[in-house]
Structure 1
Amino acid sequence: MRPVGGFLSLWAGSTVARTRNTGRKMNKKTGLFAAGLAVAASAALAHTGATGVVLERMQGMTALRDVMRDLTPMMQGAVPYDAVAVSEAGYVIASHSGEAMQKLFPTDSLMGVTYAKPDIWSDWQEFANLSEELRTYAEALSSAASTGLQAPETMPMVMDDTAPETAQTAPTPESLRAQQVANLMGFTPPEIEVGVTRRMSTDTLMAQSMQQMGGAEDIFAQISGTCSACHAKFRTGRN
């Protein structure tokens, strides 16, 4: 029969070993958690001094920056394409653009720490147009996510339901681009004429317009271009 003292020694040694292993795991988790807090803290320090609507728009711009950063490797083919992630990213961008973005820039809100230039209010229409353009492209990105990086190369003939015996050719890229720009500017252009006498229905035009915008990669490039144009004119400093 094993002495009680020997049993207690073995039990104590085993307990100490388990405690040390648990301590190592806890230290590792604590270290990772601390690292995460450090990253969050450094991000918060970038906005030190900002309050109210200025802080809100800084947080919104940071969200846009993070989404664009996360999508870039995917659009470059460096990581596998994820249609769900791309679609969700489009929704996030759309939620921070258009009217939602404009509301965060009330007249002359330049108090405290801000990267906004006074030009936003002196050329408000241009700023509003760019924010709406960003929303349009973001919604297009969500819609086109399932098609992949590249859109189909060929555009099929379109049959108008109102006259099934007659085929329509797709509108030219120039005409679609003109209509998209006009829509962003708030105008309502006349319907695009197709052929000699036929006109495209609204649903058909929208479908062709979306297809003309290309796949996720092309739309992402448009989003990047819109952000760059807005920053170049209306933003100072850096995150």
Structure 2
Amino acid sequence: MGKYTNKSVLVLGGSRGIGAAIVKKFASENAKVTFTYAGSKQAAEQLAQETGSQALFVDSADRDSVISCIKNLDTLDILVVNAGIGVFGDALDLDPNDIERLFQINIHTPYYAAVEAARKMPIGGRIIIIGSVNGDRMPVAGMAAYAASKSALQGLARGLARDFGPRGITINVIQPGPIDTDANPADGPMKDVLHAFMAIKRHGTTTEVANMVAWLAGSDTDFITGAMHTIDGGFGA
């Protein structure tokens, strides 16, 4: 028997990186895991086969598709919103359509997904959103829209915590710093710049983030809601 036996988990954006580590963590604890993917079909199918989870194609920029995905689940105890994108560069040069899509995926989807999940969840439900330490600190140029989207999650969680609290549903944001993924590899060109800001001079691992997700999803965290949980090696200290 695992810690999450008989628990139904949905991970939005679960095929790669942090999302895949979260899927593996819950699957290893005997949860019934469903995850979504958009652009990584092969990786999603392989992960589903390895973990015994279910992979669903869902465009996280499409509100109706996200809502429908949640509505169609038989049960839902834990929602993890990991889907997110970054659009970086001089704000004067960036395509407004790209920024609009960033806000749709990084802000709109977490809001609508959390609301729809709360309709379905029992008492004790858990909603966990993967944000970023850049919601607190932005030390470099070219990331204004991304930082704005991650800061928005803080207000979202604080507000929905009050809406969902009477039903015993908690909502929290996890704010990773530099994590070793394909998008931000530990040996990548930004390594030295990022580590210069950090107290612990290394990238974090996806497993470390997944472990924090699993802790917040557990039965020991009934009194934790509307809060930001930073895991960044001191990047924002």
Q: Same fold (TM over 0.5)?
A: no
Higher RCO, Cα 8 Å, sep 6+: 1
TM-score, normalisation: structure 2: 0.22
The structure carrying a bigger helix percent of its residues is: 1
TM-score, normalisation: structure 1: 0.22
The structure carrying a bigger strand percent of its residues is: 2
